[in-house]
Structure 1
Amino acid sequence: MARENGSDMAREIDPAAQACLDEHLSAWPQLAHRIYRQLMHELHSREVVTVDEIYEQTLTACSLQADAAPEVSEVEATNRLIRDYAIRYLTREQIDEAVSMARKREEADALRSIVSLPSVSFRVLADRVRRFCSVDTTTRRIEPEEAIGIRVGLIRHLVSDQLEFIGVAKRFLTIRDMDVIIQHIIGPEHGMGRIGGKAAGMFLAYKILVGDPSADPEPQASRPAGVPATPVDPSPPREPLKVSIPESYFLRSDVIDEFLELNGLGEYQTQKYKSPEEIRSQYPLIRQEFRKGRFPPAIVERLRQMLLSLGTVPLIVRSSSLLEDRFGTAFSGKYASVFVPNQARGDLRQRVVSNQGRLEQRVRALLTAIAEVYASALGPDPLLYRRAHDLIDYQEDMGVLIQKVVGVQHGNYYLPAFAGVAFSRNEYRWSPRIRREDGLLRLVMGLGTRAIERVGNEYPRMVALGEPTLRPESQPQEIIRNAQRSVDCINLATNRFETISIDALLAEGMDFPMLDRIMSIRRDGALYQPPSAFLTEDPRNLTVTFDKLLRDTDFPATLREMLRRLEGAYRRPVDVEFAHDGTDLYVLQCRAQSEMAQASRTVVPADVPRDAVLFRASRYVRTGQIDDIEYVVYVPPEEYDALTTRERRVEVGRAIGSINHALHDRRFILVGPGRWGSNDLRLGVPVTYADINHARMLIEVARERDGYVPEVSFGTHFFQDLVEANILYLPLYPDDPATQWNNAFFDGRCEPIGSLLPDGESLGSVIRVLHVPAACGGRKLRVVMDGNTDTAIGYLV
């Protein structure tokens, strides 16, 4: 050790170290006790002198000085001794670091006291976080055990109170990350609310992918009870991935309470207890009332300053409710995401915030969009979804996520090069070469709305990430027929969200980002890769395939690795929405992937008499079984196709919703023309979650002579609805020789629709309600599906 004869020092005093320590003690007199304690730890850890030796020397010194200096306490003597050692054996830099650690621990203790309170104002919490983060960032981190409690408290106050989310987030969101969130939060200073599920999932995913692995204080934390093991390594990655998130602001969940009180709209909080018919009929009025609502002046001013900071880039205003993107209840597509000003598009109610024009116009458009998001919490889909998942009594508050739209300007249009949704587990495997754990990607050119919703008679590119060049289609003609022909974009000239043809987009110029990697050249019935980065072909000879992107770039590997890391961190399958502007990849959303209740191993019986079989299928089958089916609600494709007006098709969708409610306590399945829930009413019955949530199964029927087949809906919000409601799904192709279809049953005697819908007699030929026991001698329908053998059967028992 570095001392001789008790407290005698072996080294001379370092004047620089002495001046440094005196300066710190003068600047932080209230921290003197903590500074001395930290210096003692430094001396001990550097093996200059042990803690025990410090105390022994202090006792010796005190006994020797008892008569000469009785006023000197043991604490003062200890501090003097620590000081003497420090200014001899520690450098100025080491003293600086020790003092910074002392300050950091002081702020950590104060912050820990604040976050442990059951309620605290945002201003107090934000001030304490900023004070902690103002301490020198070059200093060592406080110990993980010290940080973890603070992280949990901050997450609980600002982000989410869901224990499963906190269990993941505390490993990756540091205290300084919370300061970043605080800097982008908008809400009353004396209130407190959270940023909501969608914002939380996006930010957490980003930190998992790019954060410092050493920030994880417990990388080997155990898997949550009941969650199956995954083959991925849950430890943090070594190298950050090259991903970004859009510049984002978070309107706290408590702002909606001020909005409701200011506008006298609190009475609508009881909508959740009303009947489905009342919820549906009153929702249009509620939307109008909310759109006319005023916001607190302080919130309006904060939003105005935000717009000044962001500039005139297009914005998206997204729901971020406290219930959204939770483990087990994703609320996929239930709330509004709004590109403003207002142009409705299907159930998403997407609108363009082109964010152009005078500032006050932009502010008004933004406020209208936020009000629209607030109103969406009282719509039939989210309320009936909450009721089905026993969440109806939860005090639902709505946060709002305001983001720059990822993209580039191309002529008058603004859109990303491509976007989509990726799943860490692939339940749609069209080849034995595809592995479930490799993941699945739905990829589209332009805004990702066409990847997550069921739109017109065209398809996203389905990519099995382990075999990215392996397509479901085998022939060029089939690829061309199913290829994307339209893009969703923002028209900056009209301030509208629009769907335009790809030909119209490329008429603005052929310099669209990554065009050669998105398109293939169509010539003589075949498809060819562009020979160079710049395309000179007539746009009419181009087809969206993404072949070059998937074959010649690391994009599939990046997505696969991203999903692997996120699943490892979440310790369960995940899905991720993303966009690419031609330069950077952006994460837009991440949540635990919805999974259907696991069916035990099923065996499709081989000895069923042919006359007892109602259908057999052998394409895109998932495992599941339903017994004792009493009703089949059947929409004959030819009858639906014969409807000539939009109004009649909408009427069919409403009638299905009414039948769904009437049969809520019966076991029934839905069967009808492919692409249910599509925004193109010609291609399928226009239904939402609230119209189908009591059904046990949905069978989408495709007659190949119709010129299309039903898109397998895996990955869309509609499919997430089926999964979370535990509704089995099966596409069925009656004209396929391998498919068996019992025309005699489906065209046979049915219940008068008036018995379920007094006003539905005019739809009697379009909606057939088949009571299985009445039609089949008391027998009921059983459906057995085996995803391992890709076979399914529905038969009478």
Structure 2
Amino acid sequence: MNPDADNTVESSSVLDGYLARYPHLLDRIIRQLQVALHEKGAISIDEMYEKARGEQVESGTGNPNVAEAPRGDEAERTAVNRLTRWYAGQHLSAREIDDLVNLALKREEADKLRAIVSLSAVSFRLLSDAVRRFCALPEGESHLQPDEAMGIRVGLIRHLISDQLEFIGIAKWHLRIRDFGEIVPRLIGDEAGMGRIGGKAAGMFLAHRILTRGPEPSGREREKDARIQQAVADCAGIAIPESYYLRSDVIEDFIKLNDLGEYQNQKYKTAEEIRKDYRLIKQVFRNGKFPVRVVEQLRRLLEEIGHHPVIVRSSSLLEDRFGTAFSGKYASFFLGNQGSLEKRLAALLGAIAEVFASALGPDPLLYRREHDLLDYEEDMAVLIQKVVGQRFGPYFAPAFAGVAFSRNEYRWSPRIRREDGLMRIVMGLGTRAVDRVASEFPRMVALGMPTLRHESSIPEITRRSQRTIDVINLSKNRLESVSFEDVYRQEGKFGLLDRIVSISQDGMLVPPTGTYIDTPASQLVVTFDKLMSEGVFSEQMRGLLRRLELAYGVPVDVEFAHDGERLYLLQCRTLSQLAEMEEVTIPADVPEERTIFSANRFVRSGIVDGIEYVIYVDPRDYDRLDSNEKRVHVARVIGALNERLRDRRFILIGPGRWGSNDKRLGVPVSYADINRSKMLIEVARERDGYVPEVSFGTHFFQDLVEAGIAYLPLYPDDRRNRFNETFLSGSDNQLSSILPGEGEMGDVVRLIDVSVAAGGRHVRVVMDGRTDQALAFLAD
């Protein structure tokens, strides 16, 4: 038996079956076959048509005495189709025909999808059905041409993810049509509506695709460093948490259902009115009703994921955009997700409602006002995710988590390169990496030199190490901060503990020799030294950041978590940066009496000039406050001054950590309380038992960067530095003249009118990052 003949029969049979099954696609399938035969060299398209016309002449169809029949008449088409089928049977295998027919089917569905995404308004039902039909087809070996797919990708991105042109310009090269087949089944909202997944979800999804299936590096993405190339290759194992997306149009349905339309004009109110109304708004929203369809979808979601802890995260349309990250402006909530289904559903609905309400809070609204975004039709999508981590005893948390940046703006050694990036890493949930809490610190890692620490001694490393771990307490169904000792004594192995801790012995910190640790908790210190000395993880993070920066074309920052087995990407956004001057010279001839302060650590080059007012909170006076209510009152006074002095140039000087969650360690201001200032300065007294954490990497610091607010830590007890307490504490306090009702706070908050206090002069701050020196002085 002739195997070629058998193959021909099989191919012809397969083709006949397809044509019988898809008669409406006859012309499209024939065209695909013609192109394949042409490219294979079996017969060109021109030859095919010549043969068809020749057959017509031989059979008498053609008349030499009459003009040739118009091209494409029915007889010619029939002949071309028959010849195409014959040649396909002779020259194409059954597998090739399968693939070509599949490509024809894909082009048919792609045409329908293209028509739908080109509509300005379309229902989710119509769009999702089209996406599902396309994605249900086998991927096959033959693909749509790039120009065919590009328009569909852009349309899908615009409808379901983001309408920001900068985002679309990147995403269209990395997201495929089939990627939307993963998003669509996890979108929550009315089928008749349409909304997007929001900025936070968009950044996470795109970054994951870039890392795990990016295009071949070329142009700006060509990377010469072999180690980084290997690290980029390692990114293939990075995951994102199991995620569900409450569409951005659901909040509109929620507002309409509960008659809350009056609150949509909050953005046009004064700052004081916004602050005053927000507490009520949160309560009203939390008690609001949700559309029945949405409630049922959320109930099914909880049935599917079971009792695994979840996080409910904001993902507004404005969030994580280029140049305006909205870092920490909106609410997010960890849920233990324990108990009955109805109890878990009530908690989930309450958390979503509070995320909705957070869009009307003072921080995001004043941030939008600051960045000319008030008139943008902002809607809030919600990202619902399974929390990354494992259970140990009653607790649930990742082994470690943190935030990383592709550029390191605060370098504590000349050996550190800016382009190698920076990472802040903590044990447990990553909240302690992005928020400013307590008197302990995340591990700061210069990714190019991961073992180089900025602490100068073993006692300092021990004193600054993390001692409190953020976890989800499953028995109490809530987020908690617990001691390291409590975590350590729980049953069950805590992931990667041997890489997280060091053992304190004989005045040294040494890594555990194996994975099993039986050392008393009192001798263990969270250092991440073993993880960093191995070099693998730091190189992976460095490569990850480099890959994303190359794809985005700008510096980026990411949030991540590791469950002990796998690294998860939680967030990616562009990194706002302060413009740094190339050359700044510190004046050497400033008289002592005109010096306000000097600094010699964590200095970035720049000049802040023409300062008219100094707001000074003396660390010792603040420390004497005996209640959190009084400390919050200080923050309110700062916020009021920030508003009153909005058209003037002023700087803030205060204790420890501005914006700290621990009110004892710093004034608990928010972005809206300090956004008008030109510079924020943190004063550390060594006798207080702590020094300020370098703010770089926190949400609070990103606020400063985006607002163009310079940052500087001061160490007045360092003998090499100068600190003019006579000027700061002895100048006339103008607080009561600006805020008449706050005179009693004058013992803590000092407002100095520089022109009045210094005979018409102003304050100038000069900072030289090359020499790590800064000087503030009274200038003419």
Scaled by the length of structure 1, what TM-score is found?
0.93
Q: Which residue of 2 aligns with 1:87?
A: 89
The separation in 1 between residues aligned to 2:145 and 2:567, in whole angstroms, is 34
**How far did 1:574 drift?**
0.5
Change (3 A) 1:713 1:236: closer
Q: Which residue of 1 aligns with 2:721?
A: 739
Change (3 A) 1:12 1:399: closer
**How far did 1:505 drift?**
1.3
| Contact 1:662 1:756 survives alignment (8 Å) | yes
- Out of 202, 206, 209, which is 2:208 matched to? 206
Q: Which residue of 1 aligns with 2:306?
A: 311
Q: Once the two structures are superposed, what CA deviation does each residue of 1:672-700 show, in whole Å capped at 9, x if it has no partner?
A: 11111111111101100000000000010
**How far did 1:65 drift?**
3.4
The separation in 2 between residues aligned to 1:665 and 1:326, in whole angstroms, is 27
**How far did 1:553 drift?**
5.2
- Out of 59, 62, 77, which is 2:56 matched to? 62
Q: Which residue of 2 aligns with 1:412?
A: 394
What is the DSSP-based 3-state SS (H/G/I as helix, E as strand, rest coil) of the residue aligned with 2:24? helix
User: Residue 193 of structure 1 aligns to which amino acid in structure 2?
Assistant: G
User: Residue 184 of structure 1 aligns to which amino acid in structure 2?
Assistant: R
Change (3 A) 1:251 1:46: same
**How far did 1:13 drift?**
8.7
**Is 1:625 matched with 2:607?**
yes
The separation in 2 between residues aligned to 1:330 and 1:139, in whole angstroms, is 40
The aligned runs of 1:234-633 (5 Å cut-off) are: 240-339=235-334, 353-509=335-491, 511-552=493-534, 554-599=536-581, 601-633=583-615
Greater Cα offset, 155-164 or 599-608: 599-608
What is the DSSP-based 3-state SS (H/G/I as helix, E as strand, rest coil) of the residue aligned with 2:375? coil
**Is 1:101 matched with 2:83?**
no
Greater Cα offset, 115-124 or 62-71: 62-71
**How far did 1:60 drift?**
2.2
User: Residue 198 of structure 2 aligns to which amino acid in structure 1?
Assistant: G
The separation in 2 between residues aligned to 1:785 and 1:146, in whole angstroms, is 53
- Out of 737, 757, 762, which is 1:755 matched to? 737
Change (3 A) 1:583 1:233: closer
**How far did 1:480 drift?**
0.6
The separation in 2 between residues aligned to 1:163 and 1:127, in whole angstroms, is 26
| Contact 1:234 1:568 survives alignment (8 Å) | no
- Out of 9, 15, 23, which is 2:9 matched to? 15
Q: Which residue of 1 aligns with 2:122?
A: 120
User: Residue 30 of structure 2 aligns to which amino acid in structure 1?
Assistant: Y
- Out of 629, 634, 643, which is 1:661 matched to? 643
The separation in 1 between residues aligned to 2:9 and 2:97, in whole angstroms, is 13
**How far did 1:756 drift?**
1.5
Q: Once the two structures are superposed, what CA deviation does each residue of 1:171-211 show, in whole Å capped at 9, x if it has no partner?
A: 11111111101111111111110000000111111111111
Larger helix proportion of the pair? 2
**Is 1:129 matched with 2:111?**
no
What stretches of structure 2 of length at least 5 have no aligned partner? 64-68
What is the DSSP-based 3-state SS (H/G/I as helix, E as strand, rest coil) of the residue aligned with 1:26? helix
The separation in 2 between residues aligned to 1:765 and 1:614, in whole angstroms, is 20
**How far did 1:600 drift?**
5.2
**How far did 1:232 drift?**
13
**How far did 1:781 drift?**
0.9
Q: Which residue of 1 aligns with 2:622?
A: 640
**How far did 1:236 drift?**
13
**How far did 1:305 drift?**
0.6
Change (3 A) 1:271 1:706: same
Percent of aligned pairs with the same amino acid: 57
Q: Once the two structures are superposed, what CA deviation does each residue of 1:244-298 show, in whole Å capped at 9, x if it has no partner?
A: 1110000000000000000111110000000000000110000000000010111
**How far did 1:149 drift?**
1.1
**Is 1:27 matched with 2:9?**
no
| Contact 2:221 2:550 survives alignment (8 Å) | no
**How far did 1:234 drift?**
12
The separation in 2 between residues aligned to 1:643 and 1:537, in whole angstroms, is 40
The separation in 2 between residues aligned to 1:510 and 1:411, in whole angstroms, is 6
Greater Cα offset, 621-630 or 35-44: 621-630
Q: Which residue of 2 aligns with 1:780?
A: 762
Q: Which residue of 2 aligns with 1:73?
A: 75
What is the DSSP-based 3-state SS (H/G/I as helix, E as strand, rest coil) of the residue aligned with 1:679? coil
Change (3 A) 1:96 1:584: same
What is the DSSP-based 3-state SS (H/G/I as helix, E as strand, rest coil) of the residue aligned with 2:570? strand
User: Residue 271 of structure 1 aligns to which amino acid in structure 2?
Assistant: Q
The separation in 2 between residues aligned to 1:705 and 1:239, in whole angstroms, is 46
- Out of 35, 38, 41, which is 1:41 matched to? 35
| Contact 2:56 2:62 survives alignment (8 Å) | no
**How far did 1:421 drift?**
0.4
What is the DSSP-based 3-state SS (H/G/I as helix, E as strand, rest coil) of the residue aligned with 2:571? strand
Q: Once the two structures are superposed, what CA deviation does each residue of 1:400-453 show, in whole Å capped at 9, x if it has no partner?
A: 000001111110111111100000100121111111011101010010000000
**Is 1:690 matched with 2:672?**
yes
Greater Cα offset, 783-792 or 177-186: 783-792
The separation in 1 between residues aligned to 2:253 and 2:556, in whole angstroms, is 34
| Contact 1:510 1:535 survives alignment (8 Å) | no
User: Residue 434 of structure 1 aligns to which amino acid in structure 2?
Assistant: I
The separation in 2 between residues aligned to 1:722 and 1:89, in whole angstroms, is 67
The separation in 1 between residues aligned to 2:183 and 2:459, in whole angstroms, is 50
- Out of 146, 155, 158, which is 1:156 matched to? 158
| Contact 1:520 1:529 survives alignment (8 Å) | yes
**Is 1:708 matched with 2:710?**
no
The separation in 2 between residues aligned to 1:637 and 1:622, in whole angstroms, is 24
**How far did 1:73 drift?**
2.4
Moved over 4 A (4+): 10-13, 68-72, 219-223, 230-240
**How far did 1:15 drift?**
1.4
Q: Once the two structures are superposed, what CA deviation does each residue of 1:336-360 show, in whole Å capped at 9, x if it has no partner?
A: 0111xxxxxxxxxxxxx11111111
| Contact 1:511 1:534 survives alignment (8 Å) | no
**How far did 1:511 drift?**
2.4
| Contact 1:575 1:593 survives alignment (8 Å) | yes
| Contact 1:213 1:236 survives alignment (8 Å) | no
What is the DSSP-based 3-state SS (H/G/I as helix, E as strand, rest coil) of the residue aligned with 2:350? helix
What is the DSSP-based 3-state SS (H/G/I as helix, E as strand, rest coil) of the residue aligned with 1:699? strand
User: Residue 136 of structure 1 aligns to which amino acid in structure 2?
Assistant: P
Greater Cα offset, 203-212 or 648-657: 203-212
| Contact 2:616 2:749 survives alignment (8 Å) | yes
**How far did 1:335 drift?**
0.2
Q: Which residue of 1 aligns with 2:66?
A: none
State the Cα RMSD in Å: 2.1
**How far did 1:109 drift?**
1.4
User: Residue 18 of structure 1 aligns to which amino acid in structure 2?
Assistant: S
**How far did 1:43 drift?**
0.2
The separation in 2 between residues aligned to 1:51 and 1:568, in whole angstroms, is 43
| Contact 1:151 1:173 survives alignment (8 Å) | yes
Change (3 A) 1:236 1:492: closer
Change (3 A) 1:185 1:158: same
What is the DSSP-based 3-state SS (H/G/I as helix, E as strand, rest coil) of the residue aligned with 1:750? coil
| Contact 2:393 2:492 survives alignment (8 Å) | no
The separation in 2 between residues aligned to 1:60 and 1:159, in whole angstroms, is 54
The separation in 2 between residues aligned to 1:232 and 1:777, in whole angstroms, is 59
| Contact 1:211 1:240 survives alignment (8 Å) | no
| Contact 1:232 1:567 survives alignment (8 Å) | no
Q: Which residue of 2 aligns with 1:226?
A: none
The separation in 2 between residues aligned to 1:379 and 1:652, in whole angstroms, is 20
The aligned runs of 1:161-180 (5 Å cut-off) are: 161-180=163-182
**Is 1:789 matched with 2:771?**
yes
User: Residue 544 of structure 1 aligns to which amino acid in structure 2?
Assistant: V
What is the DSSP-based 3-state SS (H/G/I as helix, E as strand, rest coil) of the residue aligned with 1:114? helix
- Out of 111, 114, 119, which is 2:113 matched to? 111
Q: Which residue of 1 aligns with 2:144?
A: 142
User: Residue 24 of structure 2 aligns to which amino acid in structure 1?
Assistant: Q
